[in-house]
């Protein structure tokens, strides 16, 4: 059995939806289910191709984080892609479990939204999860809540295994009327079209231009005796303020440069270098401009995180230490 999980939140470290999704993954893997998670915030440019990932799946989980209203733009875009390019025959045999976690209001409405959308696509439904979380720590520590989540995860396994049927819905009749107005494409044609749509010509040209400029500046900096491989390295080393009993590794994924800056701290020693890293204590994702503003002292890591310009996962207390260990002075 194979189950795909599509997470539509922003990937913030304090998002309780990640905890719920993680528990569902644990239970399914214990039941020997092949589980694959797709984080939509990491795949913004490839969302139109994601319906292709349904091919080998027996069921899916759609996980939404309600931060102010509704299921969010990424899940909307994903569902649009399912409607336009998805293999409707495959979707008609695919079970979907909706998961909605709200930190404000509207989890019931968002759950209903996901259910209606999937029924309009012609898919099958499993019992879902809709909850409000005021304090993520209290929520994660509550044993009763954890048991409920685990039972829901077991339910999707039973539903798929037993191929449970559902009573007819008016959404199916509405879908039949709507589909008449669409061009009937074969699954192969839908796959080719989704690939074409995701290949934005303008974006491709922009990337080529950026790559040319990057190579040009690399050459200029190399001539000046400063390789771009040392961007930010000296800033971190020169601003480091040691803390007692701190051994931690940070990995900063710089999206628009496709590079990872690893900062390894061992009490009074700090080591900074660009390399791949799979075992950091905290993974942070941001772009070059945001990191440049931080090391120039224009704003702090905390501000970048709170405004959403930097996302992170890992130990939240460890993340807070960044501004204490690296109090960058304004330049």
Residue pair 54/86 in contact (Cβ under 8 Å)? The answer is yes
Instruction: Indicate whether 114 pLDDT > 80.
Output: yes
**Structure-block tokens of residue 67:** 């931060």
pLDDT of residue 181: 47
pLDDT above 80: residue 221: no
CA–CA distance, 254 with 284 (Å, rounded to integer): 9
Distance CA 74, CA 260 (A): 25
Give the pLDDT confidence of 242-254 residue by residue, as tens digits: 988 889 999 999 9
> Please, are residues 327 and 294 in contact by the beta-carbon 8 Å criterion?
no
Above pLDDT 90, what percent of the chain? Answer: 53
Which region among 65-74, 176-185, 299-308, 315-324 has the lowest average model confidence (pLDDT)? Answer: 176-185
pLDDT-based confidence at residue 183 (cuts at 50, 70, 90): very low
- For residues 157 and 154, what is the distance between their CA atoms, to the nearest angstrom? 5
The helix (H) or strand (E) run that includes residue 249 is: strand 247-254
User: Average pLDDT, whole number, for the chain?
Assistant: 85
208, pLDDT greater than 80: no
Q: What is the pLDDT of residue 271?
A: 92
Identify how many contiguous H helices and E strands the chain contains and give both numbers: 13, 11
Task: Quote the pLDDT of residue 164.
Answer: 85
- Residue pLDDT, tens place only, 159-175: 999 988 877 777 655 55
DSSP summary character for residue 172: H
Strand 269-274, strand 2-7: pairing: unpaired
C-alpha of 103 from chain center: 17
Q: What is the DSSP letter of 307?
A: T
More reliable by pLDDT, 304 or 60: 60
Q: Looking at residue 331, what is its pLDDT? A: 67
Give the relative orientation of helices 16-30 and 143-162 as an angle to the nearest 10 degrees. 50
């Amino acid at each position: 059995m194979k189950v795909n999980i599509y997470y539509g939140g922003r990937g913030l470290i304090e998002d309780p939806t990640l905890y719920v999704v993680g528990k569902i993954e644990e239970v399914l893997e214990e039941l020997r289910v092949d589980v694959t998670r797709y984080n939509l915030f990491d795949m913004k440019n490839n969302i139109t191709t994601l319906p292709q990932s349904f091919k080998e799946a027996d069921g899916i989980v759609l996980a939404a984080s309600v931060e102010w209203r509704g299921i969010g733009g990424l899940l909307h875009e994903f569902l649009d892609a399912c409607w336009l390019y998805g293999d409707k025959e495959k979707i008609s045999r695919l079970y979907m479990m909706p998961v909605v976690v709200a930190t404000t209001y509207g989890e019931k409405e968002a759950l209903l939204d996901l259910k209606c959308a999937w029924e309009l696509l012609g898919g099958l439904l499993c019992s879902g999860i809709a909850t409000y979380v005021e304090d993520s720590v209290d929520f994660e520590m509550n044993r009763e809540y954890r048991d409920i989540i685990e039972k829901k995860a077991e339910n999707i396994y039973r539903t798929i295994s037993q191929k449970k049927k559902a009573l007819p819905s008016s959404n199916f009749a509405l879908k039949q009327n709507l589909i008449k107005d669409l061009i009937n494409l074969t699954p192969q044609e839908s796959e080719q079209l989704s690939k074409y749509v995701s290949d934005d010509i303008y974006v491709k040209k922009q990337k080529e231009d950026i790559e040319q400029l990057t190579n040009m500046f690399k050459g200029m900096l190399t001539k000046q005796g400063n390789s771009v491989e040392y961007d930010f390295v000296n800033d971190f080393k020169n601003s480091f303020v040691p803390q007692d009993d701190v051994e931690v590794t940070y990995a900063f994924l710089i999206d628009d440069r496709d590079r990872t800056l690893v900062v390894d701290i061992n009490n009074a020693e700090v080591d900074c270098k660009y390399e791949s890293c799979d075992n950091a204590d905290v993974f942070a994702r941001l772009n070059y401009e945001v990191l440049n503003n931080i090391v120039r002292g224009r704003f702090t890591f905390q501000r970048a995180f709170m405004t959403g310009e930097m996302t992170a996962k890992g130990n939240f207390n460890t993340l807070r230490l960044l501004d204490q260990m690296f109090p960058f002075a304004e330049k």
